[in-house]
Structure formats: structure tokens, C-alpha cells
Amino acid sequence: MNVYINLPVADLARTRSFFAALGFAFDDRFSDETALAMRIGDGAMAMLLTHAKFAAFTPRRIADARATTEVLTAVQLDSRAAVDRMIEAACAAGATEVREAEDHGFMYGRAFSDPDGHIWEPFWMDAAQIPARAA
């Protein structure tokens, strides 16, 4: 199964530059002047669409991601250090960190708002260390 997350963006060139600075790659076979296909991981892509292109897929008004949260996109990374590196790269490229780091021992995460206001949550998790739930 593959997952495609569609997000509206105001400026495709700025968006490409921002996410390239974080280490993301693009599939230019599915990119044009209205869309960027960004690989998030195996089986996961983000389709970053101009507002006009995005509007063609929905009868609803496009949310202003700077004023309201329409989605939280969590991206699992290989280590705590990778989470910190992504946050540092994001902030250097123009993002804003939106909350303090969360450290649960078995899971560590942070969050940033991209230039269009969408919230991304890089996190690391050691599934072998997840505490058992009380019955």
C-alpha cells in the first residue's frame, strides 16, 4: 500500500528548496509547474500542489495552515540525532519550531511549521522499548 499526502503550497520553487535542504528527494516524473512529488519514504509521497491545483480536488475552501491545523504529518527517522538534525535544518531553511521536544524514553519527537504553515513531526521510536499497557 502506498500513501500520498496532498498539501497546498504557495510557491513551488520555495517549497522544493526548503524540503531539499532537509534531505528530501523529488520524483520529477510526477512534478510540473503545478505540483512537486516528494518522496517521504518507502510507499509514502507528499504531493505539494499549487493552490489552484489543490482546489481542483476539493469543493471545500483551502485551510490557512498558519491559522488552523489541518493535518500533522509525522515522519519516523532512524535516531534522536536525526530528529534534531532535521529540526535544525528546517529552522535554518525558514521553518519555525512549534513546540518543545517530547521525550518518552522509547520515543522522541519534535515539530516544525514549514513556510506554508504545515506542521511536520520528525520522531524516533524504539518499538522494543514501548511500555506494556496495564490490562
The pLDDT of residue 135 is above 70: no
Q: What is the pLDDT of residue 51?
A: 97
Q: What is the pLDDT of residue 27?
A: 96
Pairing of strands 107-113, 44-50: unpaired
8-24 pLDDT, tens digit per residue, is: 999 999 999 999 999 99
Q: Are residues 50 and 101 in the same domain?
A: no
Q: Are residues 72 and 129 in the same domain?
A: yes
Could you tell me if residue 63 is inside a domain?
no
Phi, psi for residue 68 in degrees, rounded to 5: -145, 155
Q: Are residues 90 and 117 in the same domain?
A: yes
58-115 pLDDT, tens digit per residue, is: 999 999 999 999 899 999 999 999 999 999 999 999 999 999 999 999 999 999 999 9
Q: Confirm if 112 and 98 have CB atoms less than 8 A apart.
A: yes
Q: Are residues 80 and 131 in the same domain?
A: yes
Cell triple for residue 45? 509521497
Could you tell me if residue 49 is inside a domain?
yes
The pLDDT of residue 1 is above 90: no
Q: Are residues 45 and 77 in the same domain?
A: no
Could you tell me if residue 51 is inside a domain?
yes
Q: Confirm if 50 and 35 have CB atoms less than 8 A apart.
A: yes
Q: Confirm if 79 and 126 have CB atoms less than 8 A apart.
A: no
Buried/exposed 4-24: b ≥16 CB within 10 Å, e otherwise = eeebbbeebeebbebbeebeb
Q: Are residues 90 and 129 in the same domain?
A: yes
Coil, strand, or helix at residue 76? strand
Q: What is the pLDDT of residue 29?
A: 95
Q: What is the pLDDT of residue 133?
A: 76
Q: How many domains does the chain have?
A: 2
State which of 58, 82, 101 marks the end of a domain. Answer: 58
25-60 pLDDT, tens digit per residue, is: 999 999 999 999 999 999 999 999 999 999 999 999
Q: Which domain holds residue 49?
A: 1-58
Q: What is the pLDDT of residue 95?
A: 98
Cell triple for residue 74? 509525522
